[in-house]
Structure 1
Amino acid sequence: MVTSVTPLDLTAIRADFPILKRVMRGGKQLAYLDSGATSQRPVQVLDAEREFLVTSNGAVHRGAHQLMEEATDAYEQGRADVAAFVGADADELVFTKNATEALNLVSYVLGDTRFERAVGPGDVIVTTELEHHANLIPWQELARRSGAALRWYGVTDDGRIDLESLQLDERVKVVAFTHHSNVTGVVAPVAELVSRAKSVGALTVLDACQSVPHQPVDLHALDVDFAAFSGHKMLGPNGIGVLYGRRELLAKMPPFLTGGSMIETVTMEATTYAPPPQRFEAGTPMTSQVVGLAAAARYLQAIGMDTVEAHERRLVTATIEGLSGIEGVRIIGPTSMQDRGSPVSFVVDGVHAHDVGQVLDDEGIAVRVGHHCALPLHRRFGLAATARASFAVYNTVEEVDRLVAGSVARWSSSSAIASAAKPGAAGRRHGSGERKGAPGADLSGRDPRSLQASAASGPARAIRRASSPRQPDLRRRSHAARRVVRRR
């Protein structure tokens, strides 16, 4: 619980993010509430990348000319800055192209028999029903390759890890779990999960993508063996992710990718590999992205992560209170702030999440819609999709007020929605009118056939017709947006 923080100068912070000045369609001021998908970048990050590229761009760890030396120094200083930000040592951080690659690196190497703690037939891999696909599918693949079994902790009705749903034994070799759920916002009981894993000799892997940008994180204090997070969710560039690994584990692990930069010696018969972290950074690295990521870490550190966390807790509290007071709107996840992070996912009875997102977009409000790369979790709740508001240090309570009062309040009762729709609208707009998602349940957990004509998409269409003169363009945009969103 944060008790004392530095006051936040939101006016100054928002001035660092030029994109927040955008005026969207219809003259609506942008309210960007989708930082859980990707965050915006401050000018300090943009300037750091540009300054590197126009003054010091060169190949890292190659040659002896001045630009190469400056590029290498910038790259390794970036590693040190990011390590300090997350409570790790520089040689424990491996740069990858994103967090997904970082998690795949770990899962792949844990199946390599050259590693003394490799997973094999008869072993068990444990994860949770909360996971993003990036921390589930790699473990499914490791189980398939190795002959191990995959087991998981279930989820309680309020979206928390059900610690009573699974008992560990000595067959368990890996326990992989998210720090903050990207759907329910739940903060995992890291200490308890790590303690249970250690008691049976299992390694722990933490998905920290949704925690590192939003609260103080000390990986040494968390006592996990591996962790992954991404740059683009913490005010940094795309194309850069981070894998943390305990020094002694990285030293014993074989490489994931091979090629240039990660070797010690090479002959025609055999190769020996460089020590970590270079062993896991084959090829030309993402130098300017590392520079930008380090600038993002310094930016957040200057504000203070206690301050960031306290500010975002106020935003989440206001969002939950506001949405909970609207008839027909349901929060997916805890409605208290105990062990809760930034994302707030919700459904509107009788209205598909994609239609919710489209109507909010008409108001200049950007939220994420879909299954958020967490299909098993949505199926656990009988949902096809949810809308999700997620926050960063630059968001304001006024933006939350717009979300609640200016847009979502249109759906203050599901009966009003049903009466607004014309029969057959869903079929005309979506062909068959069917929605992809959990069999037998729509986003509100009800039989979709009973809602198809009145609630699948007709309500949003009726609302849009009343509120926007650009209906034909919006319909075409809606079709294209859905084709993209449903693939995610």
Structure 2
Amino acid sequence: MTEFTPDLGERPASLDGLRDAIPACDRVAYFNTGATGPSPDRVLDAAAAWERFHKVDVLADADPYEVAFAEYERLRERLAEFLGVDADRLGLVESTADGLSAVVAAYDWDPGDVVVRTDLEHPAGTLPFDRLARRHGVEVRVVEAPAGRIDTDAFADAVADAEMACFSSLSWNYGTRLPVRELCEIAADAGAFSLVDAVQSPGQRPLELPEWGADAVACSGHKWCLGPWGSGLLAVDPAVDDDLSPAQVSYRSVDDAMADDYDLKPGGARFERGTASLAPHVGLREAVETLETVGLDAVHGRVLDLAGRLTDRLDDDRLLSPAEPESGLVTVDVTDPEATVDRLHDEGLVIRDIPDPQAVRASVHAFNTEAEVDRLATALNEEP
């Protein structure tokens, strides 16, 4: 069978090489990876090469469905390895929001059921539950986590009679790491399903998802992994398969689409649908292998070093994130967040504003430089 093996040249093997491989770095000092990361040329080339391969070469030499379905499985195995999970646990979905909402919609809900989430969640982790409250009479309890810190006793009280608990592995608004394993254990002790939004974690540091003990984890490749949009991943523990009946079923979510009575695939694959483009996940595979060639430990160390350099140079009364960073996300108090984003953009510095807290957030990745970090700190300290 025809197999996709693009020739993209040698991967960068150093942090400097990673930066050189990212064309956006030639144009701007980019500090918004927590929203979407800038991709290396080879990631974009891999995605484009797949499209040409599949829509030109394969059409002349093989069955496009057979080739595509074989590639789905190759991608699943490789990306599962990156997350430290078994391949039969992983589904290739569109985004973190896609994975989270699919799991929530697959659960069997009754009026009066209880869901617990934190007040740190992105809309991807709030809107599915708002819909449950509106459409199914589900009670949504929100556990406060001031400055990105959750009180595990308060969480345990809230989840004691809950059906599901949803929380982030890393807060998108403060950059704090949540005690995911402990929260999952608390949920399990209460008999609640644990759903983790891990969108900010992959690409910042090595991950072994089984260590968390979560029932389901959703994440994406377009942020810190530097992959394309559309490269979502959903890891589901097969032990909870009986609890999840997807709202949408298609031929990629079942074992045999031609059978008289279908059986859903195990794990996250039951949430896959029809002829979705493979290009985003092909690009993500290349992004993952690029980061692994550079070294995920080296990336993680550089992220924390540069984030620490930024917090050390910011005025103390402006810093809303931990003074000793736990991630590459650094949140800063300014008088007018939107105006600050615009001003810094004019100076060639890209950050973003966030709504809660009303502030600006810088995302510091390993491709950034010390000089860029110093420029950013100076520009932020110049706020009135």
Give your verdict on TM over 0.5: yes
Letter in 1 for 2:15: L
Structure 1 window deviating more from structure 2 (160-169 vs 389-398): it is 160-169
Match of 1:476 in 2: none
Residues of 2 paired with 1:59 and 1:391: CA distance?
40
Contact 2:90 2:269 in 1 (8 A): no
Alignment of 1:9-408 (within 5 A): 9-22=14-27, 30-57=28-55, 65-110=62-107, 118-156=108-146, 158-166=147-155, 167-168=157-158, 170-233=160-223, 234-250=225-241, 253-263=244-254, 264-265=256-257, 272-276=262-266, 277-324=268-315, 330-337=318-325, 340-348=326-334, 351-371=335-355, 378=356, 383=357, 385-405=358-378, 407-408=379-380
Q: CA deviation at 1:168?
A: 4.2
The structure with the larger Rg is: 1
- Give the letter for the 1:341 counterpart: S
Give 1:104 deviation, angstroms.
Answer: 0.3
1:202 Cα offset (Å): 1.0
TM-score normalised over the length of structure 2: 0.88
Q: What displacement does 1:134 show? A: 0.7
Secondary structure in structure 1 of the residue aligned to 2:318: strand
Q: How far is the alpha carbon of 1:293 from its aligned partner?
A: 1.2
Q: Partners in 1 of 2:262 and 2:360 — Cα distance? A: 49
Equivalents in 1 of 2:113, 2:192: separation in Å?
10
The amino acid that maps onto 1:41 is: S
8 A contact 2:116–2:142 mirrored in 1: yes
CA contact (8 A) 2:15 2:299 kept: no
Partner amino acid, structure 1, of 2:130: Q
Alpha-carbon RMSD: 2.5
Q: Work out the CA distance in 1 between the residues paired with 2:170 and 2:351.
A: 18
Structure with greater contact order relative to length (CA < 8 Å, sep ≥ 6): 2
After TM superposition, the structure 1 stretch with the greater mean CA deviation from structure 2, 178-187 or 133-142, is 133-142
Contact kept? 1:204, 1:224, Cα under 8 Å: yes
Amino acid at match of 1:19: A
Q: Give the gaps of 5 or more residues in structure 2.
A: 1-12
Task: For 1:207 and 1:150, locate their aligned partners in 2 and report how far apart those are by CA, in whole Å.
Answer: 17
User: Any stretches of 5+ residues in structure 1 without a counterpart?
Assistant: 1-7, 23-29, 111-117, 372-377, 415-488
For residues 37 and 55 of structure 2, what CA distance do their matches in structure 1 show?
Answer: 25
Query: Which has the larger displacement, 41-50 or 31-40?
Result: 41-50
Contact (CA 8 Å) 1:125, 1:143: kept in 2 or not? no
Provide the C-alpha distance between the structure 2 equivalents of 1:252 and 1:150, rounded to a whole number of angstroms. 19
Judge conservation of contact 2:82–2:288 (CA < 8 Å) in 1.
Answer: yes
Deviations 1:352-373 (A, max 9, x none): 10111111111100001132xx
Q: Does 1:410 align with 2:382?
A: yes
Amino acid at match of 1:344: V
Deviation at 1:273, TM superposition (A): 4.3
8 Å Cα contact 2:253/2:272 also seen in 1: yes
Amino acid at match of 1:408: L
Structure-2 separation of matches of 1:146 and 1:218: 35
Q: Contact 1:81–1:297 at 8 Å: present in 2 too?
A: no
What is the alpha-carbon distance in structure 2 between the residues aligned to residue 136 and residue 59 of structure 1? 43
SS of 2:148's partner is coil
Contact 1:159–1:332 (Cα < 8 Å) also in 2: no
Aligned residue in 1 for 2:3: none
Q: How far has the Cα of 1:258 moved from its partner?
A: 3.2
CA distance in 2, matches of 1:257, 1:65: 30
**Counterpart secondary structure, 1:184:** coil
Letter in 2 for 1:185: G
Task: Give the fraction of aligned pairs with identical amino acids, expressed as a percent.
Answer: 31
Relative to structure 1, is the Cα distance of residues 58 and 255 closer, same or farther in structure 2, using a 3 angstrom cutoff?
farther
The number of residue pairs the alignment matches comes to 367
Where 2:235 maps in the other structure, the secondary structure is strand
Give the superposition deviation at 1:109: 0.6
Q: In structure 2, do the counterparts of structure 1 residues 252 and 271 end up closer, same or farther at CA, with 3 Å as the change threshold?
A: farther
The 8 Å contact of residues 185 and 213 in structure 2, kept in 1 or not, is answered as: no
The AA in structure 2 aligned to 1:368 is R
Deviation string 1:198-235 (CA, Å, 9 cap, x unpaired) is 11111111110101121111111111110111121121
Q: Deviations over 1:6-42 (max 9, x none)?
A: xx833211111112112xxxxxxx1000000000111
Q: Cα offset for 1:58?
A: 8.1
> Which residue identity does 2:236 align to in structure 1?
G
**Amino acid corresponding to residue 401 of structure 1 in structure 2:** D
Q: Map Cα deviations across residues 295-319 of structure 1 (whole Å, 9 max, x no partner).
A: 1121222222221111100111111
